[in-house]
Amino acid sequence: MSIVLLEHPRPRSPERYESVVNTPLSACLMTGYIASTLMSRHLDVAVVDANLYQWSFDRAIQELRGKSFKLLGVHLVYLWEYTSDIFKTLATLKKNIPDIHINLYGHFPTFAFKDLLIEHSFIDSITIGEPERTFLELADTVVNNKGNSDLYTIDGLAFHASNSKSDNTVVKDGLVQNRPRKPVSNLDNLPSPFRNDYELKKKKGISTYILASRGCYGKCTFCYLDNFYGDESQWRGRSPENIFNEISNIYETHGERYFYFADANFFGPGRKGKERASEFACLLVDNGINIKFGIECRVNDVEGATIEALVKAGLVDVFLGVESGSQRSLTKFRKYTTVEDNKSAIITLRKYGIEPNYGFIMFDPDSTLADVRENFEFLKEMKMLNLPSVTAHLLHHKQTIFQGTLDYEKKNNGSKSVSEIMYECTYEFKEKSVEALSEDINTFCLQSLKEIFDNRDLKNMDFDSCVYDENDQFSRQLNEKLIEHFEESLSALENNECKMLK
């Protein structure tokens, strides 16, 4: 083979149960889209999914150093305390196979490319932003033994400078950053993603993901996904027919009956976005495709008629970007939604039999005890605290601030870093009482999540899934303890604050 695409091992940090904030689901198809794009040009490529195979970093080294290839593409995911292990692994591979070209792609390297190239000289290049066409041109250069001067012609690529120069580049600190790659304007032109190890994924309970759109029309301060696609980014959706054809093919080939849309914003903007969703629903119904599926969306896009059409077509799961029950926080996050919008969306979904999962930030750097109280009362009023796994996540979730977000730009000056790479900035809460509450709730909730995990039915132990039965007495009692602990801790701090004001 000439090219290897690596999904590196991803050991889970016990302090980072909410890893979805680091790796949006759309990332799970990034390697598949690169692979199918290379295959469409008849390039020899293999996908090595060390994460799926549950390999250790040492096992990944053993497996890869015995292969012969010229280009190693690595979907780099930030792993907090384990991030350095990834680079030790890649450094060892480079030492064993010195002639390979190592390229990193993904959200993490897109925003941290300067630090990554400076600190790790054995990394040859980094793909910035949408990867398919950039990586295709890189593959052509490396596989066909073209000179380093050709790297300067590839839009969306960053690498170490050589003696070659081009008007297409920016050279600073010994690094080259070529001009940005324009996002793919028509996603229908991309081949469907290559789906490696399909049966193994099904055995592990991993959903079959579909990416029906890219980008988002929202500009939330805590999100980097839209910025990933560059300054010219905008929401782009595949046509209903194109999406239907991909699902129909998987439906017929593999007998798949459940799909999850990994889009950050399934509907897209305005009336046209809802009409597109309804057209897709009609295609499923009219063609007798009997499936169930899940989506992710903003609260302001939840409308009864569209949801009804999607439910008839098989919609059963919705991840809803609620984010807060405090209007002050929603405004600060630039959600351009209201608490009443949040309530309306939840009520509408429940009307059609859907109990959504929620994106929710209980604590952020500027939170006051009043904000936290509003959040807590909102969760109780809307009856969102019913299952201990959901309750624990909602009650303890603290904002994570990654590079690429507007909040990072505001907060990172002089902040501490949790690793040698300035990708996530830590912060102190403005109110010490909120900081104390966050630490207390975080400890209690993480311990509860561990108890839930340890109490799972043995038959589910091999599944890579967070869905399991929580209707037993243990779960009900734990759920009550979570709510009671939060109430007691919050009330104690509120009472103390009142005494100090007297």
DSSP 358-423: EEE-SB-TT--HHHHHHHHHHHHHTT---SHHHHHHHHH-B---BTTSHHHHHH-TT--BSSSSTT
391 and 449 both lie in a single domain:
yes
110 shares its domain with 242: no
Residue with tokens 């604050």: 497
**Whole-number pLDDT of residue 324:** 98
324 shares its domain with 378:
no
Residue 189 lies in a domain: no
How high is the pLDDT of residue 420? Answer: 58
Mean pLDDT of 152-161: 96
Q: Please, which pLDDT band fits residue 347 given cuts at 50, 70 and 90?
A: very high
Q: Is the pLDDT reported for residue 89 higher than 50? A: yes
> What predicted TM-score, i.e. pTM, was given to this entire model?
0.93
Based on the domain organization, do 157 and 41 belong to the same domain? yes
Tell me which of 45-59, 69-83, 119-133, 221-235 is least confident. 221-235
Residue 267 contacts residue 278 (beta carbons within 8 Å): no
> 497 falls in which pLDDT band (50, 70, 90)?
confident
Of 225 and 471, the structure prediction assigns the larger pLDDT to 225
**Whole-number pLDDT of residue 465:** 44
Terminus-to-terminus CA distance in the chain, angstroms?
Answer: 74
- The mean pLDDT of the chain is 91
Residue 58 domain flag: yes
- Residue 344: helix, strand or coil by DSSP? helix
Q: Are residues 29 and 66 in the same domain?
A: yes
Rounded CA gap, 351 and 347, in Å?
A: 6
Tokens of 96: 């064993």
Across 342-369, average pLDDT: 97
Range of the domain at 261: 207-361
Task: Kindly state whether residue 36 falls inside one of the protein's structural domains.
Answer: yes
Looking at the structure, tell me whether residues 228 and 288 fall in a common domain: yes
Mean pLDDT of 85-114: 97
pLDDT tier, 189 (very low <50, low <70, confident <90, very high otherwise) = very high
Is residue 134 included in any domain, yes or no? yes
pLDDT at 295 over 60: yes
Could you tell me if 328 and 262 lie in one domain? Answer: yes
Predicted local distance difference test score (pLDDT) of residue 470: 72
Q: Quick one: 486 and 499 in the same domain?
A: yes
Range name among 71-85, 353-367, 464-478 with the lowest pLDDT average: 464-478
Residues 454 and 342 in one domain: no
172-181 pLDDT, tens digit per residue, is 778 999 999 9
Provide the number of structural domains found in the chain: 3
Of the three residues 304, 338, 361, the one that is the final residue of a domain is 361
Q: Which of 236, 237, 250 is nearest to 284 (CA)?
A: 250
Q: Identify whether residues 372 and 335 lie together within a single domain.
A: no
Report whether pLDDT(426) > 70. Answer: yes
Q: 138 and 162: one domain?
A: yes
CB-based contacts of 64: which residues, under 8 Å, 6+ apart? 4, 6, 48, 72, 93, 97
Assess whether pLDDT exceeds 70 at residue 17.
no
The two structure tokens encoding residue 454: 């340890």
Report the pLDDT averaged over residues 217-223: 93
- 466 pLDDT band (50/70/90 cuts)? very low
Please report, for residues 272, 300, 406, 473, the alpha-carbon distance to residue 269 in angstroms, rounded to integers and kept in the order given. Answer: 7, 10, 21, 44
Residue 170 belongs to some domain of the structure: yes
Pair (282, 368) in one structural domain: no
